[in-house]
Amino acid sequence: MHLAVLGATGAVGRTMLRVLAERRLPVDRLTLLASPRSAGTTVEWGGREWTIEVPREGSFRGVDYALFSAGGARSKEWGPRAAAEGAIVVDNSSAFRMDARVPLVVPEVNAEAARDRPRGIIANPNCSTIQMVVALEAIRRAAGLRRVVATTFQSVSGAGETGREALAREVSGGGGGESPFSRRIAANVIPQIGGFDAEGWTEEERKMIHETRKILGLPDLPVAATCVRVPVEVGHSVQVAVETEGELSVDGARAALAAFPGVRVSAGAEDFPTPLETADTDEVYVGRIRRDPHVPRTLHLWVVADNLRKGAATNAVQIVESLAR
């Protein structure tokens, strides 16, 4: 398999390479692409050195799969060109997620959607959406879905290396430097990820609403989200209130989640997952499963995952795995 990675030197790109090695995909040739400042440097992978190149015409000829994690502008520029040169593109940006001709895929939920790709591009969903829909699909198969309300607690690595650097700098008392956050993040929480629209919703909240509906194939599902940045380095947490169509007990929900691929369920109320404990793993962890005391057929879930792995790199690699099979 000839595989390309655009954005190979970024946090997600580097994680993609780690995940590819760990999952032992039969990759015998790599094309690693990044910005001009990384060109000419080398990366060790699979027992040999690979040289970083700048993308250009012909970079994707002969490539079977191209994993993109270089931002929306680069994806819009190079995604169609890579597909035209014959590669199947799996894009981690938001550039194509809501394009009706581009499937939005979480393999545990809708792997079959990846086979219908008129543009030759498959979109990787938003990190918080990925972990939430894995849990939601398990619940939907058991009792259907009527309404979803989510509050996220998203780590600074979701904003890239500049997010991690901003937190480290603030914690150490350093000044200056670039920050992707609208307020100080150290010792703080910020209920804003992305810009606000006219109705007061942020870009991240709108992503979760629209992407959840598309992945689940439920265009009219009521979904609301409040997305919050927290001073955690890696790992997103989501508190989800889910109203089901049918009755589902806490034990029934726990059983449905435990039987679902890629999910780990906490044993009891005091056994809950946190980002620190689940970092560097590929599963979606669910705990604190409770029945709402006032709203019928409503359960509350606490959902945690590593946003660089399952929320980005691992999900993209799993898409390639599902197609290669």
In angstroms, the Cα distances linking 242 to 201, 213, 220, 222, 290 are: 20, 14, 15, 10, 11
- Which residues does 140 contact at the CB level (< 8 Å), separation at least 6? 216
Say how many C-beta atoms besides its own lie within 10 A of residue 184's C-beta: 13
CB distance 108 to 137 below 8 Å = yes
CB distance 286 to 266 below 8 Å = yes
In angstroms, the Cα distances linking 305 to 68, 133, 178, 235, 277 are: 21, 12, 27, 6, 10
Pick from 194, 209, 229, 204: nearest CA to 136: 209
- Which helix (H) or strand (E) segment holds residue 139: the answer is helix 127-143
Q: Hey, what are 27's tokens?
A: 């990759």
Out of 2, 210, 227, 236, the active site residue is 236
Clarify whether 127 is annotated catalytic. Answer: yes
Under DSSP, the state recorded for 70 is: S
Q: Hey, what are 24's tokens?
A: 């032992």
Out of 2, 127, 210, 294, the active site residue is 127
Pick from 140, 307, 114, 124: nearest CA to 223: 140
As a dihedral over the C-alpha atoms of residue 193, residue 97, residue 61, residue 51, rounded to 10 degrees, the angle is 20
Under DSSP, the state recorded for 126 is: P
Clarify whether 227 is annotated catalytic. Answer: no
Q: Name the residues annotated as catalytic.
A: 127, 236
